[in-house]
Structure 1
Amino acid sequence: MNLIDIIYKKYKTVSIVGMAKNAGKTVTLNKLIEDAYDRDIILGITSIGRDGESKDIVTNTEKPMIYVPEGSFVATLAEKLDEGDAKLEIIRVTEYKTPMGEVVVGRVRCGGYLQIAGPQTNRGIKEISDFMLSLGAEIVLIDGAIDRLSSASPSVSEGTILATGAVISRDMNRVIEDTVHTVRLFSLESIIDINDKTVVKEIMEKEKIGIVDTFLNIQYLDIKTAINSGKVIGSEIKEYTKYVVFPGALVGKTLIDIISTTRLFKQVEFIVRDGTKIFISPKEWLKLVKMGVKVKVLEPINTLAVTVNPYSPQGYYFDSFEFLKKMRIFIKDIPVFDVMLGDE
């Protein structure tokens, strides 16, 4: 089975996100493009941010360029059209601007290498993806930007491929632990009850921390962020509190402060939009779960596959077969690929 087999005729928009810079995200994207081209699948390709430059502007290491085949649709920057050798027919100059220029959408008339770019917001990426689908793209691939796991959000794409690799740590077990933790956060249980979900959505849209009781009454807290506000939140939890809703990020210290403030935390469910909003280490997460903390999401992330990159730009690497085998032992329900090794 190829990576493309997991997607084709099942999902229209798929994001590729990396656990860290140089985790193999661009290699994964190139593999998907190659597989799609071999099967005459028309792609749309965009990015949150910019990708496709030959050198990594952060680490100054060589980067794999992105080859865009004839007939595909791409989003790029008008100012960067002359830097690649692909030939584009511009279809639309969008209203989206980045610090490096304005985003344009075009059809590839002559295949070649190109920098990929797109809007810097989830809403913008969704709009560009829908436009490409309307032009005839069968699948839109969204290349996530540096450490922007938020591009895995269900508000952006129907499914996500997670790229992980040796760059995270010299310790293979640590890489596996961090990857398994991310996959778990992505697949957290969501709210099922339609009425509860409606109330939580309302709080998310207001972008304020909200406390919901068993009768679905909402109390909004007059604090801008949950960070360093755990004790304030904890003091507002009552015997009839059902949910505490966080529209933004949820960090470990917030939950620890809530726990230290009230014993009622075990009867409450803490709600975030999706797993990309949680910033808690694997060890801290397991500790909180054992203590009885329950975290749910408004929308779970549909993780379609995990890709592994055994090489690090720092010069060290893992045994490819051992790395792949171990990752598959710990991640059983989701396909794991080594696209560099060619394992499928």
Structure 2
Amino acid sequence: MQFKWIADDEVKIVAIVGTSKNAGKTSLLNHLLWRNRALAFGVFSTGIDGEKEDAIFLKPKPAVQLYAGTLFCCDSNALRDLGSRVEILASLAEPGRELFIARSLGLIKSMITGPATASAQIELAQHMLELGADKVLVDGALDRKSIALSPRIDAIALVLGASFGNLNELELELKRLSALRSLSVYDADAQSFALLEPAEELKFYDGTLWQDSGCASLNADAQTLIKAAKAQPELQGIYIPGSVTPKSLGTLYSMLPQDGALVLVRHPDCLKLNVHQLLELGSRHKLKCLIPFKIKEYIINSEAMGHKSKDADLFRSRLRTAFPQLNLIDIMEVNSAG
């Protein structure tokens, strides 16, 4: 059964993310709401979802369809358009605009939105659960400022759309995402996790303790970073809360004293590397993550707004043959079946 994990008791907050703009997140959101109508959902977006047309290509976009009893976050404009079809449950203080938690009283179509910061998004998700939602679905993004990369997320549904690139590029991206998903999780005790998770700068590890490095990120001056690392005679590892890019990879190798050191990233998505670079880094050092990439399902979409859509049969066949272990779901297939 597709998406059966969404009914698991331990799954409360689910992020729906895409690898590119117009990947098909709204179509997946609508399918999950339709398929699981017996559940009470809370729904919000880390941006805006359900607009009538794409802001760039000016083509129609699917509306967000909310069933009776669904909790959702919207702004005052959407609330005014919905009128008596919804019940206002709470207002949220958001810089520059007023947001509301509302409950749909019947089947409606609406724009949804949400707060701009991960901390406020976490608070909103928790508030919806307290108001009676069984599950919260978040139209999110792979961004550190989004709840999608937070440890509070229980599951991620990742949509890979044809707008990402050609089939060769799609295959490489799926290989990269699979490698990130399988990254080993660092066994941090509560004290270490509380120290590392909110950190904004690199930290050095001497085998026992994590210490401040005085360096904001790997994007700082290379010689400054290498000098700071060489000043640590017992250096056995490094914690990186920000991005590791191809440009900073050489600096990282120069900072570490020898092969086999611990390279700990906050989240696998911090590794902005291609598959070959990931494999090399993993072969030279003990590559681990603090927060796992909780991808529960990979969804593909042959449609591509603003691009030539792929031949659906070829698209599905090629990717499913290359990744039989992923049980890839085509959002166009499930929507047709629904």
TM-score by length of 2: 0.89
Q: Where does residue 109 of structure 2 map in the other structure?
A: 113
Provide the rounded CA distance (Å) in 2 between the counterparts of 1:220 and 1:59.
Answer: 46
Provide the rounded CA distance (Å) in 2 between the counterparts of 1:241 and 1:257.
Answer: 15
Q: Which of 205, 220, 240 pairs up with 1:246?
A: 240
Q: Which of 127, 132, 156 pairs up with 2:128?
A: 132
What stretches of structure 1 move > 6 A for 4+ residues in a row? none
Are 1:269 and 2:262 an aligned pair?
yes
Residue 95 of structure 1 aligns with an amino acid whose one-letter code is A
Q: Where does residue 52 of structure 2 map in the other structure?
A: 54
Contact 2:163 2:307 in 1 (8 A): no
Cα shift at 1:254? 1.8
Contact 1:183 1:303 in 2 (8 A): no
Q: Where does residue 144 of structure 1 map in the other structure?
A: 140
Cα shift at 1:327? 2.7
Cα shift at 1:105? 0.3
* Secondary structure of the corresponding residue to residue 179 of structure 1: helix
Q: Where does residue 195 of structure 2 map in the other structure?
A: 202
Cα shift at 1:307? 0.7
Cα shift at 1:287? 4.1
Provide the rounded CA distance (Å) in 2 between the counterparts of 1:91 and 1:157.
Answer: 24
* Secondary structure of the corresponding residue to residue 264 of structure 1: coil
Contact 1:180 1:330 in 2 (8 A): no
Contact 2:57 2:306 in 1 (8 A): no
Q: Which of 73, 89, 92 pairs up with 2:71?
A: 73
* Secondary structure of the corresponding residue to residue 267 of structure 1: coil
Q: In the superposition, relative to structure 1, how do residues 310 and 151 fare at CA in structure 2: closer, same or farther (>3 Å)? A: farther
Are 1:177 and 2:172 an aligned pair?
yes
Q: Describe the superposition over 1:156-191 as per-residue Cα deviations: whole angstroms up to 9, x where unpaired.
A: 41000000011011x212112112312322331111
Q: In the superposition, relative to structure 1, how do residues 247 and 130 fare at CA in structure 2: closer, same or farther (>3 Å)? A: same
* Secondary structure of the corresponding residue to residue 87 of structure 2: strand
Residue 44 of structure 1 aligns with an amino acid whose one-letter code is G
5+ unaligned residues in a row in structure 2: which ranges?
Answer: none
Cα shift at 1:83? 4.0
Are 1:8 and 2:7 an aligned pair?
yes
Contact 1:86 1:114 in 2 (8 A): no
Provide the rounded CA distance (Å) in 2 between the counterparts of 1:42 and 1:203.
Answer: 35
Q: Where does residue 45 of structure 1 map in the other structure?
A: 43
Are 1:28 and 2:24 an aligned pair?
no
Provide the rounded CA distance (Å) in 2 between the counterparts of 1:231 and 1:298.
Answer: 27
* Secondary structure of the corresponding residue to residue 8 of structure 2: coil
Q: In the superposition, relative to structure 1, how do residues 48 and 263 fare at CA in structure 2: closer, same or farther (>3 Å)? A: closer
Provide the rounded CA distance (Å) in 1 between the counterparts of 2:197 and 2:125.
Answer: 24
Contact 1:210 1:219 in 2 (8 A): yes
Residue 207 of structure 1 aligns with an amino acid whose one-letter code is E
Q: Where does residue 284 of structure 1 map in the other structure?
A: 277
Cα shift at 1:55? 0.8
Q: Where does residue 188 of structure 1 map in the other structure?
A: 183
5+ unaligned residues in a row in structure 1: which ranges?
Answer: none
Cα shift at 1:262? 5.2
Provide the rounded CA distance (Å) in 2 between the counterparts of 1:63 and 1:148.
Answer: 23
Residue 187 of structure 1 aligns with an amino acid whose one-letter code is S
Provide the rounded CA distance (Å) in 2 between the counterparts of 1:76 and 1:122.
Answer: 17
Cα shift at 1:224? 2.5
Residue 88 of structure 2 aligns with an amino acid whose one-letter code is I
Q: Percent identity?
A: 23
Contact 1:16 1:142 in 2 (8 A): yes
Q: Where does residue 311 of structure 1 map in the other structure?
A: 303
Are 1:324 and 2:324 an aligned pair?
no
Residue 269 of structure 1 aligns with an amino acid whose one-letter code is L
* Secondary structure of the corresponding residue to residue 125 of structure 2: helix
Q: In the superposition, relative to structure 1, how do residues 181 and 13 fare at CA in structure 2: closer, same or farther (>3 Å)? A: same
Q: Describe the superposition over 1:234-286 as per-residue Cα deviations: whole angstroms up to 9, x where unpaired.
A: 44155632220112222222222232x35724221111111222222334333
